[in-house]
Amino acid sequence: MADHENAPPVYIVTKYTLDLLHKFLMFDCKPCKTSCSPNAYLVANESPPLPDSTLYRSMVAKRILRYLQWSIHQGLTFTPGPLTLSANSDADWARDSMDRKSIYEILVFLSNSPVTSSAKKQPTVSHYSNEAKYRALTSSVAKL
């Protein structure tokens, strides 16, 4: 039996992160506290596709590696108590300027601890901000 099979989960995640940083020569990179620029907004453009996207697909982005460097010793704390499942959701109405679709976010909690989150573009155009928020709420209920 390998040593890592008996290791606590935190150690396994930390080791994987360290291995990833070493693989891409980013072990000594400057850490950053966010996985992407908070004000960045991507739009479709006419630029040609990359000739070889293999490296890009395996690395995703330097910013994420810098975020991993910052968060390597971070973790989620689970507090004892009664198990309750809850979710928060929000939507920004007509955020995408190309197709006017809203983007919604969901954060699911087990007791007081976050266990999953997601952000997606809504499949249809909402005519009102309340409609976009209602769609986000129904997606939250489905996720629960």
Span 93-110, pLDDT tens digits: 776 677 888 888 888 888
**Would you tell me how many other CB atoms lie within 10 Å of the CB of residue 20?**
17
Residues 67 and 25 occupy one common structural domain: yes
Q: Is the pLDDT of residue 3 over 70?
A: no
Q: Which pLDDT belongs to residue 59? A: 59
Whether pTM > 0.75 for this model: the answer is no
Within the chain, strands assigned E span 85-92, 103-110, 113-121
Backbone dihedral region for residue 102 (phi beyond 0: left; psi -120 to 50: alpha; all else: beta): beta
- Per the structure, the count of domains in the chain is 2
Average pLDDT over the chain, rounded to whole?
Answer: 78
Residue 138 domain boundaries: 85-143
Residue 77 lies in a domain: no
Which residue(s) pair with 81 in the sheet?
none
- Per cent of the chain over pLDDT 90 is 6
Residue 102 lies in a domain: yes
Compute the distance between CA of residue 62 and CA of residue 12 in angstroms, rounded to an integer: 22
Residue 104 lies in a domain: yes
Compute the distance between CA of residue 132 and CA of residue 142 in angstroms, rounded to an integer: 16
Residues 66 and 93 occupy one common structural domain: no
Sheet holding 103-110, edge to edge: 85-92, 103-110, 113-121
Residue 137 lies in a domain: yes
Residue 63 lies in a domain: yes
Residue 93 lies in a domain: yes
Residues 63 and 89 occupy one common structural domain: no
Which of 37-46, 51-60, 64-73, 106-115 comes out lowest in average pLDDT?
37-46
